[in-house]
Amino acid sequence: MFTHILVPLDGSALSEAALPAAAFLAEKLAARVTLIHVIERHAPSQVHGQSHLRTADDATVYLTRIAHDAFQPGTPVVFHVHTTGVDHVAESIVAHEEEIGTDLVVMCSHGRGKALHLMLGSIAQQVIARGACPVLLIRPDTQITAPHAFTCNNILLPLDGTVEHEQAVPLAIDLARSCGAALHFVMVIPGFSRISGGTAVNSRTLPGTTARMLQMASQDAEQYLREQTGRMLTAGIAASGHVLSGDPAHMIVKAADAADMDVIVLATHGRSGMNAFWAGSVTNTICSLSATPLLLVPIQKT
């Protein structure tokens, strides 16, 4: 499981939304924490409508306070200020991630719904695209001054039956076991409106055949999830499996909200596929619509 958590902070209250999750996981996993601030060359005076840290001295004072106030006594917390101004903050965060050997980045992501373009250009998105370790994205509530408390009692793990996306399963298992959480698998079978390509043509010309194909896919999904949940129960982890029908991203968000999930765990295609991935993928839509913390696990090429 995670042993070293990296938390990038820019000095804003919004970025501090990541702190409760970092503190919770550090305690549960007995992990150490590194807080980091990267001095940005030609940095704006404000970020997210608040003062922006632009000097090493200000950043040092700020991170010293955060290290003391945001974590339980005994939690090993250090901080680092990258004093040389950089043009690309995300690149610097990823470089530090690799240099100091962190295995989880916890940070907030801004922009939701119509403000999606803010997220697509955000430092969080770039860190996910460029980095190699999992990233826990926290959605800050701009209407509340104090960060939301974080807990991990219920984990939602969407799967599609492919080996690639099953790479998120071991990490989700470890997280569930460490936190005493229940693991909830979900698969979404697309409805007629979501079928594309040649299958879409068949759905219009042979609706009965297409309906039977979708029914078979649903039955296969149910069997697949029975196998997954069976393995979890045998391992002593509370688990459930649910097959849904509709638009995958929207159904996942709806399921997370309805069941009050604490974390959604999703596998991503890592560096090589992130541009296309974030341009119109299921995960991108989930990020833009859901307020549930999202743990993104880079898919490793085999």
Parse the chain into domains and list their residue ranges: 4-138, 154-298
- Note the pTM of the prediction, 2 decimals: 0.85
Mean pLDDT by 10 residues, the chain (302 residues): 94 89 97 93 68 83 95 95 84 90 89 40 73 88 73 95 89 96 92 48 41 68 93 96 90 94 86 41 78 89 68
β-pair partners for 294: 137, 264
Nearest to 126 by CA among 263, 2, 118: 118
3-state SS, residue 253: helix
What pLDDT does residue 113 have?
A: 41
Cβ-count burial of 269 within 10 angstroms (0-12 exposed, 13-18 middle, 19+ buried)? middle
C-alpha to C-alpha distance for 102 and 36, rounded to whole angstroms: 12
C-alpha to C-alpha distance for 155 and 24, rounded to whole angstroms: 15
Task: Give yes or no on whether 4-138 and 154-298 have one common fold.
Answer: yes
What pLDDT does residue 277 have?
A: 39
- CATH 3.40.50.620 given to domain 154-298: yes
- Which are the contacts of 201, defined by CB distance < 8 A and separation ≥ 6? none
C-alpha to C-alpha distance for 146 and 158, rounded to whole angstroms: 30
Q: For residue 78, how many other CB atoms are within 10 A of its CB? A: 12
What pLDDT does residue 302 have?
A: 63
Tokens 């306070």: give the residue.
Answer: 65
C-alpha to C-alpha distance for 276 and 90, rounded to whole angstroms: 18
Tokens 């999703």: give the residue.
Answer: 266
Nearest to 106 by CA among 75, 148, 136: 136
Cβ-count burial of 190 within 10 angstroms (0-12 exposed, 13-18 middle, 19+ buried)? middle
Secondary structure E strands in the chain: 4-8, 32-40, 46-47, 50-51, 77-86, 104-108, 135-138, 154-158, 182-189, 239-245, 263-268, 294-298
C-alpha to C-alpha distance for 153 and 183, rounded to whole angstroms: 9
What pLDDT does residue 298 have?
A: 85
C-alpha to C-alpha distance for 160 and 84, rounded to whole angstroms: 44
What pLDDT does residue 199 have?
A: 42
**Residue 228 · residue 158 · CB < 8 Å:** no
Provide the CA 273 distance to its chain's centre, in angstroms. Answer: 16
Strands 77-86 and 104-108: unpaired
- CATH 3.40.50.300 given to domain 4-138: no
